[in-house]
Amino acid sequence: MTCLGFRVHAGVLAGAALLLAAVPASALPNHHNPLQTPLAPISGTCISGAIAYAVSTDQQTTSSKTYRDVTGTSVAFTQGTGGCAEVSFSAEAATVPGELLLTRVLLDGKECAPADNIFASDSPSSDLADHAMNYICGNVPAGNHTAKVQFRSRFGRKVALDYRTTIVRYAP
């Protein structure tokens, strides 16, 4: 009886695994805000030649559903000529199962594109793993500016960032 029970369960499990493997990626749920209209693709060119950066290695966690500053990511720079700036952010990130970690970049308090980025999704083990995203800040006038990264939890459960690097590429 035990062997028969094992065969039935093994067959069911194998069938479920086959079904999951056959589901196309397009059938996966859209975790971005369903009330938000997707933005049209944006393209352009940035003139850069200077780099400013920040590196931090202290773990930061939140369960907040509103954006919080990520410590150690603030980067001050002086844009030489008007144009755009690129902010690259990479970090070890993790969430508890069923959670999403969202990030955004603010340049002088204004969001860069894309906003509300799903930076990390649930991990069965909640282990930290490397993640990265590039953001474009358009219409940056010449002068002094500050870029910073913020993060939040989508559903109010724990999310974490650890070793992280913020790099700003801008016009000297």
| Structure confidence by residue, pLDDT tens digits, 154-169 | 999 999 999 999 999 9
For residue 82, CA distances in Å to 3, 107, 140, 170 come to 73, 14, 6, 10
Q: Which residue has the tokens 């308090």?
A: 109
**CATH code of 66's domain:** 2.60.120.40
Is 152 a member of any domain?
yes
pLDDT tens digit sequence for 134-150: 999 999 999 999 999 99
pLDDT tens digit sequence for 15-72: 444 334 444 443 445 555 656 666 677 777 788 899 999 999 999 999 999 999 999 9
CA dist 71 and 170 (Å) reads: 22
Is 10 a member of any domain?
no
Q: What share of the chain is helix, strand, coil (3-state, %, to 5)?
A: 15, 45, 40
pTM value is 0.77
Is 87 a member of any domain?
yes
Q: 61: domain range?
A: 50-170
Torsion angle, alpha carbons of 140, 91, 73, 84, to 10: -10
Is 38 a member of any domain?
no
Read off the tokens for 32. Answer: 């971005």
Is 27 a member of any domain?
no
Count of domains in the chain? 1
Is 26 a member of any domain?
no
Is 115 a member of any domain?
yes
Is 84 a member of any domain?
yes
pLDDT tens digit sequence for 71-122: 999 999 999 999 999 999 999 999 998 899 999 999 999 999 998 889 998 8
